[in-house]
Structure 1
Amino acid sequence: MSIRIIDSSTARQLPWKNGKGVTLELAIAPPDAGLDDFDWRISSARVDSAGPFSHYPGIDRSLGLLSGAGLRLNLPEQVSLELDSHTPVVAFPGELDVQTKLLDGPVQDFNLMSRRSRWQHRLHYRELQGQQWLGSSAVLFIYCCSGAGLTCARADNAPISLSVGQGLLVQNEAGPWRLTNQGRSGLYLARLEPTSAGQEAIDRLGDNWL
């Protein structure tokens, strides 16, 4: 069980798998995993130019938009996805050949990846004004991406304050969580649940998987 604050300003910087950019790694499981053997990974990257995405066989990917006008993702068989203010989250399999095009200048993205044989994930964008309640997940990541800061509280914990660029990573902790603010905040909410195979691996590792 674990609750911790993740700050993008202190996240470690790593090269993209294809070497064409730099990523801020916010969280990864297992903690000592690399780009070829992680179970799940949460990161953020700046995209300055058009080009290919890295290949991640067996990985499901979801992208969110943190800043900039957006991206067009060109997939095989003439399929394209647009990540912009109207569609702030897109999802696709990591093994596909994906070519990206900037809609209007560089962007900063939010990237959630999970190994589909072990984990399932969901990524949502929400605007918070006032109060919202969140239920439990095996892994819950609350990331404040714009606007006012917010406070995350649970009945048995002291309130935790988040500023823009900070996230709260909650692993195997029961909810609900109450989110409040004094203005308007843009949030990305990442949820991960283990598949049956993933749960068996977690049970074997015990607390060491966190």
Structure 2
Amino acid sequence: MPHRLLDLATARAMPWKNGGGATLELAIAPAGAGLDDFAWRISSARVGTAGPFSAFAGVDRSLALLSGAGLRLQRGDGRVEELFSGGAVAQFPGEEAISATLADGPVGDLNLMTRRGVWRHRLAPLRLHGRQELENDAEVMLLWCQAGADIKCRLPDGEQQLMQSGQGLLLEAQRGPLALYAQQPALLYLAWLYREG
């Protein structure tokens, strides 16, 4: 499947690995994989209380905040990292002991995980107003519309897709130029996933 639309409204709800909450699974590979044997996984969770993160040995993680006032991460080495909606992305190994506290009420996040040595990834925010072209060199790419105006995307094969807030496009084996357009200011998160080995 070269591309598919992901939507928070229709994503599958699953319990956290540590049982402390629930997450919406947006995409996973291979299809039907579980929490212990996925190659990569994209999900979104609503965090309503402070607590530790689930441990994922051998997995690299990136976390971005989609909604809420903020999330404070107490890292395993004692550092404190603060995430805000539409801001920077936190990156950490899945086995690192991390606990989170809420700045002021529940938050929603975007979580990307890849199995180390099998896949690698990067996740970054992009503010869009007007037209912008991107080159996709990844085997799998995610474009996530977080907030603001609807976003039109012209895919490498020339097909047009529309994303609204809370929706994303997952492109598989669609390397090539992308054209993005937003009539009003919009915020996206972009992720590139590369197979290793």
2:9 counterpart SS class: helix
Equivalent residues in 2 for 1:48-59 (5 A)?
48-59=48-59
Gaps of 5+ in 1: 197-210
2:79 and 2:156 mapped to 1: Cα distance? Answer: 46
1:173 and 1:70 mapped to 2: Cα distance? Answer: 34
User: Does residue 127 in structure 1 map to residue 141 in structure 2?
Assistant: no
1:113 and 1:179 mapped to 2: Cα distance? Answer: 25
Structure 1 match to 2:107: 107
The one-letter code matched in structure 1 to 2:167 is Q
Deviations along 1:158-197, one digit per CA (max 9) or x if unpaired, are 311111111110011122110001111110101100111x
1:44 and 1:83 mapped to 2: Cα distance? Answer: 15
Structure 2 match to 1:191: 192
- The 1:14/1:155 distance shift into structure 2, 3 A limit, reads closer
Q: Aligned-pair distance for 1:71? A: 0.9
Higher helix share: 1
Alignment check: 8 A CA contact 2:73 2:98 kept: yes
1:155 and 1:42 mapped to 2: Cα distance? Answer: 22
Q: Aligned-pair distance for 1:131? A: 1.2
> Which moved further from structure 2: 123-132 or 150-159?
150-159
1:156 and 1:91 mapped to 2: Cα distance? Answer: 32
Structure 2 match to 1:200: none
1:15 and 1:34 mapped to 2: Cα distance? Answer: 12
Structure 2 match to 1:202: none
Q: Aligned-pair distance for 1:38? A: 0.4
> RMSD in angstroms over aligned alpha carbons?
1.3
1:184 counterpart SS class: strand
Percent of aligned positions that are identical: 51
Q: What's the TM-score once normalised by structure 1's chain length?
A: 0.90
Structure 1 match to 2:144: 143
1:183 and 1:74 mapped to 2: Cα distance? Answer: 36
Higher strand share: 2
Equivalent residues in 2 for 1:29-178 (5 A)?
29-85=29-85, 87-136=87-136, 137-154=138-155, 156-178=157-179
The one-letter code matched in structure 1 to 2:50 is A
The one-letter code matched in structure 1 to 2:75 is L
Paired residue total: 196
The one-letter code matched in structure 2 to 1:18 is N
Q: Aligned-pair distance for 1:78? A: 1.2
1:41 and 1:154 mapped to 2: Cα distance? Answer: 22
List, as ranges, runs of 4+ consecutive aligned residues in structure 1 with deviation greater than 2 Å: 85-88, 154-158
Q: What's the TM-score once normalised by structure 2's chain length?
A: 0.95
Structure 2 match to 1:207: none
